[in-house]
A and B are shown apart, each in its own frame.
Chain A
Amino acid sequence: MWRFIGFRTLQAIPVIFVVITVTFFLVRAAPGGPFDDEKAVSPQVQAALEAQYRLDLPMHEQYFAYLADLLRGDMGPSFNYPGRSVDELIFQGLPITAELGFYALLVAVGIGVLSGVIASLRPNTVQDYVPMSLAMIGICMPSFLLGPLMVLVFGIWLDWLPVSGWDQSSGDKVLPSITLGAMYAAYIARLSRSGMLEVMSQDYLRTARAKGLPERVVVIKHALRAGLLPVISYLGPAFAGLLSGSFVVETIFQIPGLGRFYVQAAFNRDYTMILGTTTFLATLIVVFNLLSDFLAAWLNPRLRYQFQKGK
């Protein structure tokens, strides 16, 4: 097990390094610069601005200086928000996005597993078709449609929940969490349905039933543990996806999270911010994938064994 963990961790480092390098040169290759604006900037001012951000140095010097700073944990000053560092901005948005992602994941797992399991109990009946059709709609319905629709109904017509904000009035976290979670709920529903279906036909469940166990115990105690394995290995990437994919929901609901920086930085050509958020999210995705690999290996001994045999 330890060998497995160590090997996978070592594999992850070059991935992150490549992400940083590619991003660094790609953003600089993109047309337009951080100081371009509708009103022309005089050459003198342009030169002064470039000097303030080290853009006057040759490209390779900029690159190595950036790497050196990064190793010290310094992602540099933001181009777009003078007086603020990228570290500061990321760590200001992260807790909010993480909280949103966590609630969304609760929504996703709650709805997803429940409807997936219900559907799998009577495959190809109404009990299967209804939740699965809803799931299909959930996957197809983009959050920029679902979000405003829910705001219209619950925020404006019924006036039950606030239409926007985060931590500003009670209940303002409900709609964004559902909006963000819905798509993942749908996917989890399909994963858990197929996982359960596969498990339900296994011999050990037939044995359990033959022993006279009630169906409830068969499902909850014996089938779920194996049937939900695919869902568990999906949770890591899903959470990383929730963190990096929250831009639309954050914009709709006026939430001061990380996702908005990520997208705005690209539009503004805020070089350090693009690099900072990309590096950060890439690291996060790699780490969550690792964690879910480890979790899956721990739950499913076959994976570990295969790895050891392969060596």
Chain B
Amino acid sequence: MTTRISRLPRGGRNWLVLAVLALLVGCSGGEDGGGSSGLTRVEQGNLDGVLHFGNGVEPEGLDPHIVTGVAENKIVSALFEGLVAKHPETLEPEPGVAESWEIAEDGKLYTFHLRQDARWTNGDAVTAEDFVWSWKRILTPELGAQYNYNLFSVVNAERYANGEINDFDLVGVKALDDYTLQVQLNSPTPYFLQLLDHYSTFPVHRPTIEEFGSISDRLSPWARVGNIVGNGAFTLTEWQINSHVRVEKNPNYWNADNIRLNAIVYYPTENLVTEDRMYRDGQLHHTQEIVLDKIPVYQQEIPEQVKITPWLGTYFYMFNTTRPPFDDVRVRKALAMTVDRDLLVETVMQGIVEPAYALVPPDTLGYFPPKTFDYDPERARELLAEAGYPDGEGFPAFDVLYNTQESHRRLAVALQQMWASELNIPAQLVNQEWKVYLENQDNMNYDVSRRGWIGDYVDPNTFLDMYVTDGGNNKTGFSSERYDEIILREAPATLDREARYELYREAETLLMESMAILPIYTYSTKHLTHPSVKGKPSNIMDHVNFNHIWLDPTVTTE
């Protein structure tokens, strides 16, 4: 049987059981109790090679060009395959549909050689023309694909997507023959290969899409059970909304001999507590999250099943730099310097995250951010006095905005307390429902606001390009000519990695010197994973490559 954790004394338990039993007896529903007979779902899955995967939320869809979420990514990447895949441990590119590739010396011309045995689930060959048409589809303006910008490093892709040109032949992607694809970039984009493992660049099956609608049709049912044609290691067999999605091994997949899972069942587990119970009851191999308060208990009782790993994401507050008093950099710095991150991490966050002093998480593919300040309440008080608020005198009451969620509230309360006791300034906590919170951020209708950012690929650029002047994700009013120059022109044109990182460090120093944002901690991912799951190493992208996973039926949690 699976691990059980019982914490109530025996006497109390018996009493409770009796009380609820009285309720049960009254029910003449007619169903008999099961659950104790036979194996748990996980144990049965281990024998059959079926992985039961807690997937967070119900997928909005499975069309690689339309979906945007993490849960969708986990399913879509089992159903489709891009030119390049990622090794689950190193995250280095490994061959996908492309067997090999060459990059020209100037870093701007990529030539991919596609494997000739790659097949769609209906038996058609996967060709270079499939990629050209698929990229045309995601760049078609009327489709409204939110992630089309992932291809904007390709020559003329952005202009086509914005409707400035209508001739797709001008876009820098060509099929030289059935199995050779050539891509021309605007500038050497060192993370371009990584983007080819993102679902927005995956190929889709043209005849299937055209059978159910046009190239720009978001609402067609092509990506449904019975209709969908993919090219991944698995194929979609069941999809019951809010219950589960089941995919089964695709015998037509070019590498099918090396795929060891027979099926994956994804469960939408948006309620963390329910997910936790499902795991404890042996219904799931893997959870999407762990309830924060339970981490200490699990770390003590089942440490080998608790997987906590740094994540490529930063939790921070941002300032509205267009509004007094936060238009004064000294005020922003004072607030940032009074946050005792070590204390926060240790208490509120149960010690499972790392304190952050900059935007980009440390060791993002060898990049380490600058540390421009430290916890220093003494200096903070001086800065506040210089700004005209000695001992917090005359400092206006200000709002700290966060989206309604218990963990955000706890952190905000702690910060409120730190600012009150160290600087004597009054912060008011304001929580808003998600969409309202987003709208207020967009309209710069806030003083200080909670924010988080998860990288799309492993490169400092995925964080730093947020803060170009008037960027859609900026929302702070931060603007620096030098910063824009580096992010938009110099760094993309620099081929050498160290030289490029040096530029990024300069840009990030500019950002942190202005303290438009107040970094708090680097996220971490938290999963419970059954010990029978093999070939699933943790990594900073929380990237799962199902092609490498297998289940060992001899391992139990006894």
Q: Which residues of B contact A114 (CB under 8 A)?
A: 26
Known A44-B162, A89-B241; judge A162-B27 contact (CB<8 A): no
Bound-state CA distance A167–B33 (Å) is 13
Q: Is B294 an interface residue (CB 8 A)?
A: no
Bound-state CA distance A31–B33 (Å) is 47
Closest to A269 in B: B435
Q: How far is the CB of A271 from chain B (nearest CB, A)?
A: 12
Q: Is B434 an interface residue (CB 8 A)?
A: yes
Known A52-B218, A157-B4, A162-B281; judge A32-B438 contact (CB<8 A): yes
Q: Is B31 an interface residue (CB 8 A)?
A: yes
B binding-site residues for A, Cβ under 8 Å: 1, 4, 6, 13, 16-17, 20, 23-24, 26-29, 31-36, 41, 60-61, 63, 66, 68, 141-146, 148-149, 161-163, 218-224, 240-243, 267-271, 273-274, 277-278, 280-281, 283, 433-436, 438-440, 442, 452-453, 471-473
Bound-state CA distance A172–B453 (Å) is 39
Contact B143 A48 (CB under 8 A): yes
Known A52-B144, A106-B29; judge A82-B61 contact (CB<8 A): yes
Closest to A46 in B: B144
Q: How far is the CB of B298 from chain A (nearest CB, A)?
A: 15
Q: Is A92 an interface residue (CB 8 A)?
A: yes
Q: How far is the CB of A253 from chain B (nearest CB, A)?
A: 7
Would you list 18 pairs from A and B whose C-beta atoms are within 8 A, ordered by A residue? A31-B440, A36-B435, A40-B472, A49-B218, A81-B61, A82-B63, A156-B280, A163-B281, A169-B35, A169-B41, A170-B35, A173-B29, A185-B26, A254-B242, A254-B271, A254-B274, A255-B242, A256-B241
Bound-state CA distance A77–B148 (Å) is 23
Q: Which residues of A contact B24 (CB under 8 A)?
A: 154, 174, 178
Q: How far is the CB of A132 from chain B (nearest CB, A)?
A: 15
Contact B17 A45 (CB under 8 A): no
Choose the segment among A145-153, A196-204, A234-242, A297-305 that binds chain B (4+ C-beta atoms closer than 8 Å): A145-153
Contact A32 B435 (CB under 8 A): yes
Q: Which residues of A contact B16 (CB under 8 A)?
A: 153
Residue of A48, A93, A164 near B283 (CB, 8 A) is A164
Contact B439 A83 (CB under 8 A): no
Bound-state CA distance A113–B143 (Å) is 57
Contact B220 A41 (CB under 8 A): no
Closest to A52 in B: B218
Q: Which residues of B contact A255 (CB under 8 A)?
A: 242
Contact A165 B283 (CB under 8 A): yes
Q: Which residues of A contact B31 (CB under 8 A)?
A: 170-171, 173-174
Contact B17 A158 (CB under 8 A): yes
Bound-state CA distance A83–B228 (Å) is 12
Bound-state CA distance A47–B145 (Å) is 11
Bound-state CA distance A173–B163 (Å) is 53
Q: Which residues of B contact A93 (CB under 8 A)?
A: 241-242
Contact A161 B436 (CB under 8 A): no
Q: Is A177 an interface residue (CB 8 A)?
A: yes
Bound-state CA distance A33–B146 (Å) is 15
Bound-state CA distance A269–B418 (Å) is 36
Contact B35 A161 (CB under 8 A): yes
Contact B472 A164 (CB under 8 A): no
Contact B26 A254 (CB under 8 A): no
Interface of B, helix, strand, loop or mixed by DSSP: loop
Q: How far is the CB of B163 from chain A (nearest CB, A)?
A: 7
Q: Is A124 an interface residue (CB 8 A)?
A: no
Bound-state CA distance A174–B143 (Å) is 45
Contact A157 B146 (CB under 8 A): no
With A174-B33, A251-B270 already in contact, 7 other A-B pairs whose C-beta atoms are closer than 8 Å: A44-B161, A51-B144, A89-B241, A164-B283, A171-B32, A171-B33, A261-B242
- Chain A to chain B: the 6 pairs with minimum beta-carbon distance, closest first: A32-B435, A40-B472, A48-B144, A170-B34, A256-B242, A256-B243
Bound-state CA distance A164–B89 (Å) is 33
Contact B27 A177 (CB under 8 A): yes
Q: Which residues of B contact A261 (CB under 8 A)?
A: 242
Residue of A45, A80, A151 near B60 (CB, 8 A) is A80
Q: Is A84 an interface residue (CB 8 A)?
A: yes
Closest to B278 in A: A164
Contact B23 A171 (CB under 8 A): no
Q: Is A260 an interface residue (CB 8 A)?
A: yes
Contact B36 A49 (CB under 8 A): no
Q: How far is the CB of B302 from chain A (nearest CB, A)?
A: 14
Q: Which residues of A contact B221 (CB under 8 A)?
A: 83-84
Contact B473 A156 (CB under 8 A): no
Contact A267 B433 (CB under 8 A): yes
Contact B278 A163 (CB under 8 A): yes
Q: Which residues of A contact B36 (CB under 8 A)?
A: 159-160
Q: Which residues of A contact B144 (CB under 8 A)?
A: 45-49, 51-52
Q: Which residues of A contact B241 (CB under 8 A)?
A: 81, 84, 89, 92-93, 256
Which of A35, A45, A77, A269: most chain B Cβ within 10 A?
A45
Contact A174 B219 (CB under 8 A): no
Which of A77, A93, A148, A160: most chain B Cβ within 10 A?
A160
